[in-house]
Amino acid sequence: MPRFCPSEYRRRVIDLIESGMSVAKVAGGLEVTAATIYNWWNQHLVDTGRKPGTSSVESTELAAANRRIVELETELAAARRANELLRVVVPPKGGSKPSR
């Protein structure tokens, strides 16, 4: 199960890699796997514009937008269900003129 590492910790690891230390050496001295460090490094390259991809800021905004979409879809489903229930309880008025 992944555990959370503060951004300043990740920043220090990235700084060690940028200073010329190997990933294996950095991983050996810390409680982080080499694969995790490579993931952090690749994301750092994307965030600094040295590699194409989705930046951390864009990923955060996209996740927030997706959460909002799910919330709105849930609200819409509740409103539709309430409308269905009200139609059963209160049938529409049968006027003499057809509606347009």
| Amino acid 29: pLDDT | 82
Domain count across the chain: 2
Write out the two tokens for 85.
């229930």
Supply the range of the domain harboring residue 77: 55-90
| Amino acid 28: pLDDT | 86
| Residue 74 predicted with pLDDT over 80 | yes
Radius of gyration, alpha carbons of the chain: 26
Contact 46, 55 (CB under 8 A): yes
Q: Where are the alpha helices (DSSP H) in the chain?
A: 7-18, 23-29, 34-47, 56-89
- pTM equals 0.66
CATH of the domain at 28: 1.10.10
| Residue 52 predicted with pLDDT over 60 | yes
| Residue 36 predicted with pLDDT over 60 | yes
The pair phi, psi for residue 3, each rounded to 5°, is -115, 155
Same-domain status, 30 and 69: no
Same-domain status, 19 and 47: yes
| Residue 1 predicted with pLDDT over 50 | no
